[in-house]
Amino acid sequence: MPTPTPPLCPVHRTPMTPKISAFGPWFLCVEPDCDYRVSADRRTGEPLGTPTDAAGREARKRAHAAFDALWRRDYEGNSRRRSRCYRWLASVLGLTEAECHIARFDVARCDEVVRAVQALTAGRADWRGVLLSARFDPPRDSAEAEKGTPEWGLA
Ligand SMILES: [Zn+2]
């Protein structure tokens, strides 16, 4: 297995320690009272997203629950639908598609995801048609998009 570069704890700025659990590899902070961690890819050992604390993990779960419902409904293995939903989300959040990963979002950004999904679906019967047929043009300039994306969620 290649040796991944450990992410830094956003609070302590120290390299995090790799661990293996029943759920796969992950990184945790060496400081005893620090709750920041991030799971890692089983194959490469690279961190999947940015380290976050319990509040951040809960926020990411809420965002995934709201967002995944968009593309999972009547999904039937239609991966174009999934990528279209991601394109919509990137467009709404002003991110490039490469930057649009809930595993990298902070609490505020996750709440934005939930609100965006609610705004899309609330009180309009045609939201699926709008979502699945519209063109989305997220920003291509990553420097521009990163201004609105705090890396560590410590706002
Ligand atoms: Zn820490």
Q: Report helix, strand or coil for 153.
A: coil
**Spacing, Cα 143 to ligand 1 middle (Å):** 27
Confidence of residue 80 (pLDDT cuts 50, 70, 90): confident
Q: What is the pLDDT of residues 123-142, one digit of tens each?
A: 777 888 777 777 777 666 55
Q: Are residues 23 and 90 in the same domain?
A: no
**Spacing, Cα 22 to ligand 1 middle (Å):** 22
**Spacing, Cα 96 to ligand 1 middle (Å):** 29
Question: CA Rg, the chain, in Å?
Answer: 17
Q: Are residues 141 and 108 in the same domain?
A: yes
**Spacing, Cα 149 to ligand 1 middle (Å):** 21
pTM: 0.79
Confidence of residue 25 (pLDDT cuts 50, 70, 90): very high
Going through 7-47 in order, the beta strands assigned E by DSSP cover: 17-21, 24-28, 37-39
Q: Are residues 43 and 59 in the same domain?
A: no
Going edge to edge, which strands form the sheet with 37-39?
Answer: 17-21, 24-28, 37-39
Q: Are residues 41 and 60 in the same domain?
A: no
Give the residue from 8, 139, 114, 19 showing the smallest Cα distance to 58.
Answer: 114
Domain count, the chain: 2
Report the C-alpha gap between 59 and 63 in whole angstroms: 6
